[in-house]
Structure 1
Amino acid sequence: MFSIGDFAALGRVSVRMLRHYDAIGLLTPARTDPATGYRYYQADQLRRLNRIIALKDLGLTLEKVAAILDDKVSVEQLHGMLRLRRAQMEAQLSADTARLISIEARLRMIEEEGYMSTEDVVLKQIAPVRVAELSALAASYDGEDIGPVIGPLYNEMWRRLGATGVRPSGAPIAYYEPDTGTGGDGQTVLVHAAVEVVSGTSGADDLDLRDLPGIESAATIVHRGPMNEAFRSMQILARWIDDNGYKPVGYAREVCLQFDPQNPANWVHEFQLEVTRA
């Protein structure tokens, strides 16, 4: 048998925690000395302790932990719970990391206010283009809502292009529009993941083939870096539009000029925003 101190060290928990578990009947010692009150534990009790800690780390209350253990939760069930929790925590960590990157980018932009040059904005005509595309709804224009939608759309796009034999002839083009369909709440956004194909391409049942109209007058800017910093380039566009007496028409297209799956810092996109004289 092990003293409470030794058992706590073996289980990587505190003595105070073991005393609390004993007090609420969650993990009682194998023997308690009637004269001294010292608690003693057996090695087999580490199995129950491991389950208690694992379930508690899932966010369950100790009362719920006790109920689950009393129901003799199997190892397979416990593994399933832990895998689910791990996936949830990884998703939360990824979201928090993306949010932190966005916050840092906005802080840098605030520091640079008044120094952002609009010299990189180019006004030009955009030719019409034939594209294959897939579409899906996102909750808003926020990058945290767009990213999880457009990534899978492009993954599915490449799979279907390969299956149908349609070959891309140009760059991927993403564009967005408000969801005006039945049940649209005015907040949701229809996300289009498109790629240029040869003019006249047809016969791809699994893809939406359409002609994107040309843009007579587009304010454009090349954005280098991850898309969660796109707002910086968009604000430069906004300043140029305002300074030069234009107003935007619709929403920007994003043309992917360079994509590095390993490092978003190497991404290059051209933002194309249709404008007209105010």
Structure 2
Amino acid sequence: MLLRIGEYARLLGIPVRTVRFYSDNGLLPPTEVDPTSGYRYYGLERLEHGRRLLTLKALGLPLGEIKAVLESGLDDDTFRAMLERHVVRLEGELHQTTEQLTRARAHLHALTLKQDPSMADITITTSKPKTIAYIRDQITDPSGIARMFPRLFESVDLADVIDVGGNIYYEFADDGSYIDLEAVMPVADDYQATGEAKVRRIEPAMVATITHHGSFNRIHEAYEALLTWIADNGYEVTGPSYEWNIVCTPPVVQDNETYVTEIQIEVGPAN
């Protein structure tokens, strides 16, 4: 039984023009072509061929590779190797696209910074030395950041805190499984640690600084702008990032747009 091209396209669930495109490119050759009218006809056995083509196209394989698969009838091992190469290619494209998206967002945020006088410009400065009481932990969920401060306050009396507190970030796992950070509170130089908290000195360092006005849900925008500025201005990241909670009224929530956070990242001249 032969199907007209319209019937064949309907059974595959694609437009007739798509069938013609694939046919013209050697991917869906018809079973027969009427020599007088030029009409293309497809046998029922060509439905499986068409379905396999659409499956490969949905995987994002280039048309040249799809044609090779359909024409040669690759065995499973060869087809698997082709898919593995394709996965590597897609991962590379995803990484590149993610970087481009991050830069685009960062530049957009940078434009916002220039247009909004309530937000500070990015600056390079030397951080002030300070003594901190801190708790360091690896958390598996960003919501766990807020839960670290009650633990810190169990060991630190608010009367001993001399400046705004915040977080120091050391590592974000590549697979997103954990964040290595400290919850910190500046204290007097002679402060004695108690309970779970420890005490150490933060020495002066060159830092790139930006002030984020808004919720923690949007703080990544400020980070993206700051990291882009660092890369574009001859610097590189050399140490941890700091978040100082200039305005952060309890209870701490992610979507409070009245928060003000100063972000610092340790930097040095790029090699």
Q: Residue deviations 1:131-158, cap 9 Å, x none?
A: 111122123xxxxx22x22111102222
Confirm or deny: 8 A CA contact 1:221 1:233 kept in the other structure: yes
Where do 1:99-178 residues align within 5 Å?
109=105, 112=108, 115-117=111-113, 120-139=121-140, 145-146=141-142, 148-162=143-157, 167-178=160-171
Same amino acid, percent of matched pairs: 21
Q: 1:240 to 1:209 in 2, by over 3 A?
A: same
Alpha carbons of structure 1 residues 130 and 111: separation in structure 2 relative to 1, 3 Å: closer
User: Is the contact made by 1:154 and 1:193 (CA closer than 8 Å) also made in structure 2?
Assistant: yes
- Map 1:42-81 onto structure 2 (within 5 A): none
Paired residues of 2:172 and 2:180 also in contact (CA < 8 A)? yes
The correspondence of residues 199-210 of structure 1 with structure 2, limited to 5 A, is: 199-210=189-200
CA distance in 2, matches of 1:113, 1:175: 23
Alpha-carbon spacing, 1:122–1:186, altered in 2? closer, same or farther (3 Å): same
Q: In the alignment, what sits opposite 1:269? A: 261
Q: 1:127 to 1:166 in 2, by over 3 A?
A: same
**Contact conserved, 2:106 with 2:225, CA < 8 A, in 1?**
no
Alpha-carbon offset, residue 248 of structure 1:
1.1
Q: Which SS does the other structure have where 1:230 is aligned?
A: helix
Structure 2, unaligned stretches of length 5 or more?
Answer: 1-101, 115-119
Alpha carbons of structure 1 residues 203 and 234: separation in structure 2 relative to 1, 3 Å: closer
**Counterpart amino acid of residue 270 in structure 1:** E
Q: Answer with 150-159 or 110-119: which moved more.
A: 110-119
Query: In the alignment, which residue of structure 1 is the partner of 2:240?
Result: 251
Which amino acid letter does the alignment assign opposite residue 111 of structure 2? Y
3-state SS of 1:210 partner: strand
TM-score, with normalisation over the residues of structure 2?
A: 0.52
Q: Report the secondary structure of 2:200's partner residue.
A: strand
1:223 aligns with 2:223: no
Post-superposition offset of 1:110: 8.4
Check whether the contact 1:252–1:274 (CA below 8 A) recurs between aligned residues.
yes
- Cα offset, 1:173, TM superposition: 2.5
Equivalent position SS for 1:115: helix
Q: In 2 relative to 1, CA 155–125 (structure 1 residues): closer, same or farther, beyond 3 Å?
A: same
Alignment match of 2:187 (pick from 192, 197, 222): 197
C-alpha change, 1:197 and 1:111, in structure 2 (3 Å) is: closer
CA distance in 2, matches of 1:114, 1:202: 42
The CA distance in 1 between the partners of 2:235 and 2:165, in whole Å, is: 27
1:134 aligned partner, one-letter code = I
Closer/same/farther in 2, CA of residues 186 and 268 from structure 1, 3 Å limit: closer
Structure 1, residues 110-139: CA drift from partner, whole Å, max 9, x if none? 894783456710111102211111122123
TM-score, length basis structure 1? 0.50
Going from structure 1 to structure 2, the CA distance change for 1:243 and 1:178 (only over 3 Å counts) comes to closer
**Secondary structure at 1:133's aligned position in 2?**
strand
Counterparts of 1:206 and 1:186, CA distance in 2: 26
